[in-house]
């Protein structure tokens, strides 16, 4: 542990490619924690570079910040995720990807049937009927309920 083990927010930003404002935002959301200098400036551990990079990866895989926070909360605070942690987490993530691929393949099948018939029929079209189910889930913006990525998986999974 050298004295340079603590880094400023600007360096963390530079190292991860994330904007300074985003890092503050992540801290506010509880995804990362910061120590403070005498003058009140944030000081991060080098380990936080990995934490932030994990956030970026998980985001790419479609997790919301809330879900990411939940994953990170399972790690010992302020510790770099080690190989075992990462294996567990990334195995979970892989299952998500598998589900999304499966759902898209199912969507493609349905679409192929649609291309064939050209009907866009409310009664018969598998694609439409999935949308219909989604719409009947109740109030609230469907977008926010996860219909962008998650919905397709769920509906296809439940046998449309």
Give the interface with its own copies as residue ranges (CB under 8 A).
15-19, 49-50, 53-54, 56-57, 59-62, 81-84, 86-87, 90-91, 93-94, 97-98, 100-101, 104-105, 107-108, 111-112, 114-115, 118-120, 122, 125, 127-128, 130-136, 139, 142, 147-149, 151-152
Task: Verify binding: residue 120, DNA, rule CB under 7 A.
Answer: no
Window 131 to 150, contacts with DNA (CB under 7 A) = 139-144
Task: Verify binding: residue 49, DNA, rule CB under 7 A.
Answer: no
* Complex with DNA: residue 47 or 134, whichever CB lies closer: 134
Window 63 to 92, contacts with DNA (CB under 7 A) = 64-66
Runs of H (alpha helix) within 61-149: 65-73, 83-117, 126-135
Beta pairing partners, 43: 8, 35
Phi, psi of 43 (to 5 degrees): -130, 125
Q: Are 130 and 160 in contact (CB under 8 A)?
A: yes
CA angle centred on 43, ends 42 and 48, rounded to 5°: 115
């Amino acid at each position: 542990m050298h004295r340079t083990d603590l880094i400023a927010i600007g360096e963390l930003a530079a190292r991860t490619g994330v904007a300074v404002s985003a890092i503050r935002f992540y801290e506010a959301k509880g995804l990362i924690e910061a120590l403070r200098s005498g003058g009140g400036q944030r000081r991060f551990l080098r380990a936080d570079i990995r934490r932030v990079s994990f956030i970026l990866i998980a985001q790419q895989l479609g997790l919301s910040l809330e879900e990411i926070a939940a994953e990170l909360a399972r790690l010992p605070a302020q510790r770099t995720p080690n190989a075992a942690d990462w294996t567990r987490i990334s195995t979970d993530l892989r299952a998500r990807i598998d589900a999304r691929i499966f759902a898209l393949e199912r969507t493609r099948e349905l679409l192929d049937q649609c291309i064939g018939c050209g009907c866009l029929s409310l009664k018969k079209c598998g694609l439409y009927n999935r949308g219909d189910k989604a719409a009947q889930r109740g109030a609230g913006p469907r977008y926010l309920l996860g219909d962008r990525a998650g919905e397709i998986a769920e509906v296809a999974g439940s046998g449309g």
